[in-house]
Structure 1
């Protein structure tokens, strides 16, 4: 089994679990670098909320922030994503092999074209009559309730 740095991989997947953070990464993937205000512009959340998302992405190592004067610029970094892709590829190979074996097994089997015994078809008319009878019988055997606030007569 391939060994991965557990904590780094956990932080990467935790950061990718949020749709806003994935959208921020997608925007950074379209352009080489963007300022924080440019990144935050299309989102309907506050700038402090975007900053918290950027903190998570920075802690996971998915972005790097550089400050020039009063402007903070964000860029993507590749290493955490490469580790995550490597982990996913390992398990994709595992599932692919297992699904290939399952497909081969299913294709080997000869399945009957028709069932050996006929499947009985329900008689809908008889079922409806029985349902009506059971409902009518249960209504006759019930006691009527008394209106609220009145005591039943003895």
Structure 2
């Protein structure tokens, strides 16, 4: 997946609040099944499975089948396009904060 396509996929996938909540639960567990994700979520098992499919296609989760269960875990490399994109803007903000710091020192030596 090219970088622009990768960032688009990650942002589109995480834009959905329910999917983002599923992802956060996966991140908080070493591994977790669809059944475990469904319990207490207020979302059907079918919907959880669809959200996991989207997360997997975006490279944000990986799966490991074992018997009748499939275990999901977060895939840290899946967030790299987002981190790379944000780091570009981090430079912008660091420069602005440095300028603000210098201005404040001038105003109140």
Report the TM-score, using the length of structure 2 for normalisation: 0.81
Match of 1:141 in 2: none
Match of 2:8 in 1: 10
The question of whether the paired residues in 1 share the 8 Å contact of 2:62 and 2:74 is answered with: yes
1:30 to 23, 28, 31: 28
Q: With a CA cutoff of 8 Å and minimum separation of 6, indicate the structure with the bigger relative contact order.
A: 2
Q: How many residues align?
A: 107
Mean CA deviation greater in 94-103 or 44-53: 94-103
Q: How does 1:72-87 map to 2 (within 5 A)?
A: 72-87=70-85
Give ranges in structure 1 of 5+ residues lacking alignment.
Answer: 110-154
Cα offset, 1:8, TM superposition: 1.0
Cα offset, 1:108, TM superposition: 5.0
Match of 2:17 in 1: 19
Name the CA distance, whole Å, in 1 between partners of 2:88 and 2:78: 16
Say which structure is richer in helix. 2
Larger Rg: 1
Report the TM-score, using the length of structure 1 for normalisation: 0.60
Match of 1:47 in 2: 45
Residue by residue over 1:80-101, the C-alpha shift from the partner in whole angstroms, topping out at 9 and shown as x without a partner, is: 2133112212212212313433
Cα offset, 1:32, TM superposition: 0.7
The question of whether the paired residues in 1 share the 8 Å contact of 2:61 and 2:78 is answered with: no
The question of whether the paired residues in 2 share the 8 Å contact of 1:9 and 1:80 is answered with: no
